[in-house]
Every structure is written in structure tokens, then in C-alpha cells.
Amino acid sequence: MSTDSPLHQRRRPLTEAELLTIPWMRLLSVDERERAATDLKVADAVPGDMLCRTGRQATYWFGVIDGLLKMSTDNAQGQTITYTGIPPGGWFGEGTALKREAYRYNIQALRKSRVAGLHVDTFHWLLDHSIAFNRFVMNQLNERLGQFIAAREIDRMNNPDVRVARSLAALFNPVLYPGVGEVLRITQQELAYLVGLSRQRVNEALTTLASQGSIAVEYGGLRVLNLAALRAPPGA
């Protein structure tokens, strides 16, 4: 998020309720929490807003308070490659913040979202002063590595039902996205953007998964009934 972007200009301090939703805040000491809370800012993104853009220097470490974001890149042919969705509770970009480098991906809001940002200088200060924060970031990086290995596997799958199942399982990751819980607020069109299939084909896959007892389609979202089944290999 560049300093001259409309999103940056809409930033404000977090409320106490919003601070309570941040999973790593409770791990910090009183002084560390005070420093982080003073620096943290939140902004309301509208669909289509770009929080991170390929080639832009990283200035914040971001987290989703509410809403849904998409991480993607554009290849040499101009095609968009979607890596993952980022639902509530998810913090992302720690690798880029660690190296203080430019983004190698785009982050875009798929729906109205509240996104928090911690300046990279404070991010590094916490790394220098808090063992608990270091462990949180290390766990994030480890879980993220597993997520992207799984994403590579998903890309090579020809079975649309399995693609949707695995993509849903990734969005219900309790380590990366603790704010999701058992119900993910997502539309079929949003899921189609993330999976790379048509909305009609996603609808068929969701119907199949519901009939198998893996999920329940509810108004405005999806409830996971059997996360292990969504993660299971084809034919298991």
C-alpha cells in the first residue's frame, strides 16, 4: 500500500475490539503490545482495491480483520495466476517484510474488507525484542510453505471437485486464518476467482461436496463438516 494511495489515506487507529482479533497481540509483553497498538493502522478496502502491487516496496505487514483478499501475479502472457485467498485472521507478507524487498505479487480486495497494517520498522523491532513474536512469524512461514506446496499440487489437478475441496481446505487453515472458524463467508463467484473455475463449475463441485457430507452450503457462506475429507487425496 503506497503512501499516496486512497487506501492509505483512509487509515485510522484500531479500536479495542479490532485489536482483540489480532492473534499475535496476546503473545506480546505489555510494552510490546503498547508499541504495536500505537503503530497499527486499519483501513476499509472496497472491491478492486490493491493493497500490494508487484514491484512496489513493502512498507507494511498486513492482516485481514474482516473480508476477503486475493493473492495473485500476472505472467508474461498477461494471464492472472491466483495463489490463494486470504480470509479473516490472516496475516501475510512476512517474508517480504523480513527482507524489506519489493512485492512479487498483487494483493487485491475481492469484497469490502477491513485490513490492518503494521509498519515494517515496528515489525522488525518486535522481531528484535520478542521471542514469542519470532515464534509466531516462524510458524507463519512454515505453514505458508506448506500452503504453497499444496497450491502447486492443486494447479496440476484435473478433477474440479478436488480442486475446490483442496482450495476450501486451505481457506480453513486454523493456523494461518484463525478468524474463519467453522463458517467461511464467501460467494460462489469469489470462490471461482480463487480456484480458477467458472461459477457454474464451482456450484457443481459444492453440490457434490455437500452430498458427501464434507460441507454445508449456508446463506452467504460455507460450513465445513469434515475438514479431513476436504484434504484427502482423490479416491481416499
Q: Would you say 58 and 120 are in contact if contact means Cβ atoms under 8 Å apart?
A: yes
Give pLDDT tens digits for 93-112. Answer: 999 999 999 999 999 999 99
3: pLDDT strictly greater than 60: no
pLDDT of residue 58: 92
pLDDT score of 11 more than 90: no
Q: Final residue of a domain: which of 93, 116, 150? A: 150
Q: Are residues 168 and 97 in the same domain?
A: no
In a domain, 179, yes or no: yes
pLDDT in tens, 121-177: 999 999 999 999 999 999 999 998 887 777 666 666 678 898 899 889 889 988 899
Same domain, 139 and 210: no
44/46 Cα distance (integer angstroms) = 7
Residue appearing with cell numbers 474482516: 66
CATH code, 101 = 2.60.120.10
Residues 163 and 144 in one domain: no
Domain of residue 222 covers 158-231
163 and 124 in one domain?
A: no
3-state secondary structure (DSSP) of residue 216: strand
DSSP secondary structure code for residue 110 in this structure: S
At 232 the pLDDT is 80
The pTM of the full predicted model, rounded to 2 decimals, is 0.85
Question: How sure is the predictor about 46, in pLDDT bands with cuts at 50, 70 and 90?
Answer: very high
Say whether 47 sits in a helix, a strand or coil: coil
In 6-112 the beta strands, taken as DSSP E runs, fall at 41-45, 50-52, 60-66, 69-74, 80-86, 91-92, 106-109
Q: Do 178 and 123 reside in the same domain of the chain?
A: no
Q: How confident is the model at residue 1 (pLDDT cuts 50, 70, 90)?
A: low
Residues 211 and 142 in one domain: no
Q: For residue 26, give every residue at least 6 positions away whose Cβ sits within 8 Å of its Cβ, in sequence order, or none.
A: none
Q: Answer yes or no: do 57 and 114 share one domain.
A: yes
Same structural domain, 77 and 146 = yes
Per the structure, how many domains does the chain have? 2
* 144 lies in the same domain as 172: no
- What's the whole-number mean pLDDT along residues 198-221? 93
Tell whether 63 and 105 lie within a shared domain. yes
